[in-house]
Structure formats: C-alpha cells, structure tokens
Chain A
Amino acid sequence: MSLLEVKNLTVKFPSRKGDFTAVDDVSLSVEPGEILGIVGESGAGKSTVGNAIISLLEAPGYMSDGSIWLKGGRIDDLDENLKSTIRGRRIGMIFQDPLTSLNPLETVGAQLIETIILHLELSEKAARARAIDLLNQVGIENAEERVDQYPHQFSGGMRQRVVIALALCSDPEVVIADEPTTALDVSIQAQILSLLRKLCEERNVGMIMVTHDMGVIAEITDRVAVMYRGKLVEIGETEKVLYKPTHEYTKSLISAVPRPDKKADRFPLVTYIEDVETLPEDVKLSDLWLGKTRDYEDFEGSMLTVERLKLDFVTKRAIFKRNNTYFTALKGVSFDIKQGEVFGIVGESGSGKSTIARCVTGIYEPSDGTVSICGADLNKLVDINKRNYYRRQTQMVFQDPFSSLNGRMRVENIIAEPIIFHKQAADKTEVRKIVHELLEIVGLGTGAARKFPHEFSGGQRQRISIARALATRPRFLICDEPTSALDVSIQAQILNLLKDLQEELGLTMMFISHDLPVIRQMCDRVAVMQSGEILEIAETEALFNTPQHSYTKKLLELMPKFRTSA
C-alpha cells in the first residue's frame, strides 16, 4: 500500500464548447520519504493534479472520474468538513510565488500560530514555541525575533521558507510543492531544494514536486512523471526517464533543454507537437526590406562602450537633496561590446543587469559615467534628430511578453509605430508591406497583423516583440531575459530565431539572463554581475570551463546539474 495513490484521475473544465479535459486518466503513487516529480510544459495539467489531490480545484473544474487514496483511505469523496481535516493536517502544500502566498497584514507568527492551533490543539504559548521551532528548522535565523515580523520584512527566499514552515505545521504525511523555486534565484533555489530534500528524509514525508524545470527534477526527485496535454506519457525512476526516455515527447522535451556543458549550434526543437505552430520558413533576408543596406554611417571601434556607469535611486527623499538616502544600483560599471558580438550579462535578481539595459536604452538616466553607442555619447547629444538617429539603431526586447505589448493596439499598429516614428517608410502601403515582411520573418504570418496581442500565446507575443524591435532596422539589439517567461519548447524556438537573425543581419546583441545554460548557448562573451558590479568578463567557453571569480564558481556549481542524453 502506497502512502498516496491517485487512480485514473480525470479532471474536466466545462466550457461553452463542451468539457475541456485538463487531466486525462492519470494514475500515480508516492511512497514515504520519496520525492515524485511531475514535469511538463504550461497547460500540461501538472498543477491541476496537485490541486485535485488536495481538492482545491478552481471552479468550474471538477473531478469527473478516478479516486485518491491516502494510506489506504479514500479521500476524494469526503464531505467538505472531513476534507478540511486532511488539507493542511495530513497533506501540506507549497505554492510558487512566496511573495503572494502570505497574508501581508498579519505577522508571520500569527499565521503560523493560527494554523498550528487549528491542527494540533495546542495552547497559544505552546503554539508559539512550536512556530519558533519550525522557523529554526527551515533555516531562519533569529527566529525568536523574526516570528513577530510581517511578510514584507522577509526576502523572497526567506518567505518561501516561511511558506514551507506553514506547510509543515502539523507534521503532514504528504507535501505537494507546486513550482516552489521557480520565482527564486539559483543560489536560493539550491538552498530551498536541499531544505526540502532534508525535510523529506528526516520526517519521512512523501512529496510531489510539480515543476517545468528539468534541472530541478534531476536535482532532487526520486521518480518522475512526464505530462503532456493532460496525459501521463511516462513515469519511472528519474535517472531512467531523463537519460533513457522511452516516449517520443519526453525525448524531444529533454533534448530541447539548453545544455550547460557544451555549446551547440542550434537549440534542438521540441518536434513532438500535435498541431504545429508555423515554424519560421527559410526566408531570404537579403531580398527583403530588413536585409537591405541601412542608411547608417560606418564607424570604427565598439558598438557599445560603457564607462564607469553609475546609477543611484532615491529611496528616501529628504527636504534637502544632500540628505536623501540612495540605493546604488550600479557602482561604476565598465565594458564594451564589439560590432557583431553577442554579449551576455548574467547575475541574480537585484544584481543590476536589467538596470544596465535601461541605462543604455535611455529609460534611466545614469547618475554618472558615459554610455556611447556607435562611438557617440548619447547623453551629450542635444540635437533631437541626432539622438533619434542613434536611438533607432538600438532596440530592446523585454522580458514579459504579456505586459510589454499594448493590449488595445492591433499587431500591425504595434509594429508600424516605430517605423512611422523614425520615418522609415515613404507611405502607408510601404509601412504595411514592411510589417507583413517582419511578421513572416518572425514566423507568425501576415494573418497576425489584424489581431490583438491577447489572441496570441506567450511565445507568439515574444515574436511580436522581436518584430517590433526589428522594425527600425537596428544594428544593436538588447534582449532582457527574452525567454524566462516561456516554456522550454518555445524558448528553443525563440532563441533559434534570435540566433538566425543575429547571424544573417550581423546584429550586435546584448543578452541578459539569469539562466546559465542559455547564456552559454547564445553568447560570445559574458559578464558576471553581483550587487551592481561586474565581477568578471570572459569569453563564454573560458568562463564556463575556468571561472576566475569565486562568485562565478559558486553560480556554476549551483546551476542544477542536468546533462542531456546526447
């Protein structure tokens, strides 16, 4: 008898077009002390399995078939009162985003004590002692003191520890962790994963780890279940599934994960896709508007030179300017990017990597230092036409494809806007022709022009962003985490597209990411950043093989190890 058994689980969401089956006949089991991973891309139904186990399906979803057994007792057909004796008490849950998982208005202690009293019927004092004990166990220092603090006084990683402590309040037998480290940095991720592993072993808890990240799966799970469109395609020992996959989907999914160990020419695509999104066909760029010679003057030297770039943010405004409190986001950063080079910037959140991009594009005005693009210092250029001439050569692709496109504009207008602003076309028909060409190039087809952004998926929207960035025929493209919001299969497509464009158009690129494998595949040279400073700049291969700075070594060590089967 397993600790937790899910038999033939089917979950349906009724909609106007008939029922949508989110989970289709899934059976799995968890043993005590074991970590079972559920992996899949967004929409695969992996979170729904977790929610169904704890009977927290989002309305109108319902379990249309199957059963769930905890230690031999069926738990899915209990009434709501009995279910709440299982939720939190025998099955704990950890969610993805630690920043929103805690009630902002109550102290961490109050939330812990409330849950402890509910499940263990202890006195207020005993519950408090247990709360402090739990915080100690999950690795929060000064637990005595921190128990009376509010969630906003904790960092993201610390908050996730509090969330874990909350899930462990009543010594549950099973813990379901839904993407517990997705919102965290690599170093924090490593800490949280080892904490979860340790707690599992010490308490003999069975854990279900829902994630899209193959690295996490390889790092801590004993067995793994692979889901695709609601179906369980493969389940087995982690080693076996990852390195000797049997199902076609698993094979192609695993091969699409960017390799940390070796540089490949192209990213392997997830070829196992039922209704194929139009992949970019071979377009001869040199025949098109985008490929034609641009009206830029040639110049000698680097594409971008950044010298002693410094940026302060005012955190607290005082009456006199000299009394202001500042946060220094960039502490005098210098580097240069050669023409035609792909330059990577890697670092954890808060290291200032996006801030550099924003200073270079002129979104932020630096407090000190110079930024020269194509040999011209932009902050010294007063003439607006001259400024626009240089601005036009630099374009940016943002991280979040959902908020970086105006939802009330049609795609053709979004892409046409920079063309019209920079007067790149003679008349409306030419603008339209260019827009259609750009849409073809990024693989969306001209049909996309009349649609609105919300009609597209995340990957397609990122393609729109790229088309918009290309619309001024830039020489220098800045990509700020362009794929971190996307699934592995989509990530591979977008990165390939960027690579192709870079090669064929001879673009210079600044590529910002926290994802080391992606950096390794994309970049020629890499800068490693930590708290506003560049620690190390090196050729990509040299950096990965012989890192110099201790922080770089640490980052490389913490990167979840996952080698592909090839």
Chain B
Amino acid sequence: MLTFIARRMIQSVLVMIAVGLITFGLLRFVGDPISNMVGQDTSIAEREQLKEDLGLNDPFVIQFANFAKNAVKGEFGLSYTLRVPVSQLLSERLPATLELSIMSALLALFIGMPMGIYTAIHKDSWLTKFFLSSSLVGVSLPTFLIGILLILLFGVVFRWLPTFGRGEVVDLGWWTTGLLTWSGIKSLILPTITLAIFQLTLIMRLVRAEMLEVLRTDYIKFGRARGLSMRALHYRHALKNTLIPVITITGLQLGSIIAFSLITESVFQWPGMGLLFIQAIGNADVPIMAAYLVLIAFIFVAINLMVDILYVVLDPRLRTTVGD
C-alpha cells in the first residue's frame, strides 16, 4: 500500500514537472515579457538592464529551476496589469472558487446519487421518467443559459436572491468565507445550482447505468435466492459495487468544476479564480495565466491521487495486486 502511494506520488511529481515546463514556456516564449512590462518610452539600455535583473539572460535550465523553485513556494511574480504579486491575488480569489465548487459538488453528489439509485431501482415509475427526461434538459442546456434564466427568475422577477458577488464575507485571516453570513449564503445559492446542474444529471445517469449493470449480476441474483431483503441487496451489495466507477468520474468532475467554473463565475460576477483568469486572458497577463495553469494541474493531480487511493480502499481485489 505504501509503495503504491509512493509510486503514485512520484508519477504525480513527474506530471507536475511537465506542466511546469509548458507553463514556463508560455511565460518565457509567448510574447516579449519586457515589452509587456514597460512602456513605449523605455530606452533599450533600460530594457537590457531589466532583462538582466529578471534573470532572462540566464541559460534555460537555470531559468526553469528558478521558476520551479518559486512555483513550489507559490510565487509567480507580479501581475502585469494589477502590479500585485500573483500569489496574493490567487489567495484572495481561491476561497471564493473553492467554496462555490465544493458546495456545488456536494449538491450534485447528494442529489444526483439518490436520484440515480431511485431511477435504477424503480425502473418504470413515472418519477423515474420525469427525472430522466428532465435530466436531458440539464445536460443539453449550456451553463450560462441556466445561470441567466435563474437570475431572471429569482433575481429579477421574484427578487428573492442576489444575482452577483459573494455578499458579506467573513475574513478568517487565511480564508474568507461567505458561509457565515446570511447574505453570503443567499449569494451562494444561484451560482451553486447553476454549476451543479450539469454534474448532477451526469452523476445521476452514471449511477443509474452502473446500478442497473450491477443489479443484473449473478451475486445479486444469488443474494435474492438466499432470501436477502431487497433493501440489503440494493443499498449494501449493489451500491458498494456501483460506487467504484462513479468515484473516478466524480473525482474528475470535481476537478473540472474547480477549473472551469469560469463561465458561472463570469455570469454571476463571482470574485473567484475563473473570473480572474478571464480578465487575465483579456489583458494578456501571462503570470496569472501561468499560475492558474499550475494550480489547476495541481488540483487535478491531487484529486486523481485521492481517487486512486480510495479505489484501493474500496476494492479488495486491487489490494492484493497492489501489494506491499
């Protein structure tokens, strides 16, 4: 088990180095960083001086080593446009995004899973048909449209919920949270739903398909022949077997919620990383883009590692092949 985790960790580090190389390439070779930083009237001598100061004349390897060293510490230099360290910007924005994505992942999981189980067990009920047909809407409507419709309905027509920003936030020093104030929670509702709907329908359909598959297996049939109750069969024997593939997809989905919440964030003017990233693209603010890339890659790698470990914990068959 430990060797397995160690091996996976080494693989993760390799992935991160590869991502680092790409990001570094982006940073150094897309456009001229000097002319991005300085104005039209800077003299050539001054530009050369700046180049020397920033270490841009060093050999590639040393430049990359410096970049990697800083990246590990979370330092990606100054934002071109905002003139603030990128690390500071990210740490301001990260809590907003994480709060939003984790809430919507939880929402998707805790509603999507029961719905999937229900639709698998009660194959022919009218509620199943309703869930399945409405889930089609969830899958096919683009996120921004759902967001705008929600804003129209709850923000403009009924005027129940705020339509932009995080509301009042409480600063805990290392983290800012909207979960402790009433207005913060209210502001969270619409973007959470918007972000969750696609994942929710996906999880529901996945759980349903897997569960139907498992319910056809011999061990469920043998369980019935032994007289086990349908309850025990559905919720103990079938559910556990259903979860294994669901975990993989859910893990990857969590990654993509965090990484690509930018559409939702821009619809709701949510002050998260996605919004920051979109603005950075607009301004060609390369340090922010680079930091964002590295961070997202890191989140994906970390989630994947957790999924792999969870797999081994859940499935005894893997434990023996994994070995010690």
A-side interface residues toward B, CB under 8 Å? Answer: 54, 56, 84-89, 92-93, 95, 97, 100-107, 114-115, 118-119, 150, 152-153, 163, 166-167, 169-170, 316
Contacts and interface: CB of A to CB of B under 8 A. Distances in A.
Contact of A100 (B219, B223, B225): B219
A74 B24 CA distance: 78
B227 A87 contact: yes
A105 B218 contact: no
A146 to B, nearest CB: 14
Contact of B227 (A100, A102, A118, A163): A118
Contacts of B217: 100
B51 interface: no
B222 A84 contact: no
Contact of B224 (A56, A170, A316): A56
19 contacts: A87-B226, A93-B226, A100-B217, A102-B219, A103-B219, A103-B241, A105-B241, A105-B314, A105-B316, A106-B240, A114-B228, A118-B227, A118-B229, A150-B316, A152-B316, A153-B320, A166-B226, A167-B226, A170-B227
Contacts of A93: 222, 225-226
A84 B229 contact: yes
A7 B169 CA distance: 75
Contact of B237 (A106, A152, A163, A169): A106
A90 B218 CA distance: 21
A56 B241 CA distance: 22
A86 B224 CA distance: 11
Contact of A95 (B221, B228, B237, B314): B221
A60 to B, nearest CB: 12
B48 interface: no
B316 A95 contact: no
Interface of B: 217-219, 221-229, 232, 237, 240-241, 314-317, 320, 323
A56 B219 contact: no
Nearest to A150: B316
A153 B317 CA distance: 8
A101 B218 contact: yes
A92 to B, nearest CB: 7
A95 B226 CA distance: 11
B125 to A, nearest CB: 15
A273 B219 CA distance: 35
A88 B241 contact: no
Which of B222, B227, B240 is packed against the most chain A CB atoms within 10 Å? B227
A459 B229 CA distance: 40
B323 A316 contact: yes
Contacts of A153: 320
Given A105-B316, A152-B316, A119 B227 contact: yes
A465 B225 CA distance: 38
A88 B323 contact: no
Contacts of B226: 87-88, 92-93, 115, 118, 166-167, 169
Nearest to A91: B225
A548 B240 CA distance: 52
Contacts of A106: 237, 240
Given A114-B232, A316-B323, A87 B316 contact: no
A548 B236 CA distance: 53
Contact of A152 (B227, B317, B323): B317
Contacts of B228: 88, 114-115, 118
A87 B222 contact: no
Given A102-B222, A114-B232, A88 B240 contact: no
A54 B240 CA distance: 26
A166 B227 contact: no
A205 to B, nearest CB: 15
Contacts of B316: 104-105, 107, 150, 152
Contact of A150 (B219, B221, B317): B317
Nearest to A98: B218
A89 B237 CA distance: 19
Given A104-B241, A152-B316, A152-B317, A85 B219 contact: no
Contact of A54 (B225, B232, B237, B314): B225
Contacts of A56: 221, 224-225
A85 B241 CA distance: 26
A213 to B, nearest CB: 20
Contacts of B315: 104-105
Contacts of A104: 219, 241, 315-317
Nearest to B218: A100
Given A114-B232, A152-B317, A101 B227 contact: no
| Nearest 8 Cβ contacts at the A-B interface | A88-B227, A93-B225, A88-B226, A100-B218, A87-B227, A150-B316, A101-B222, A103-B219
Given A103-B241, A150-B317, 6 more contacts: A100-B218, A103-B223, A118-B232, A153-B320, A163-B222, A167-B225
A169 B222 CA distance: 13
B275 to A, nearest CB: 43
Nearest to A54: B225
A103 B221 contact: no
A84 B228 CA distance: 8
A88 B228 CA distance: 8
Nearest to B225: A93
A137 to B, nearest CB: 17
Contacts of B314: 105
A87 B225 contact: yes
Contacts of B223: 103
Contacts of B232: 114, 118
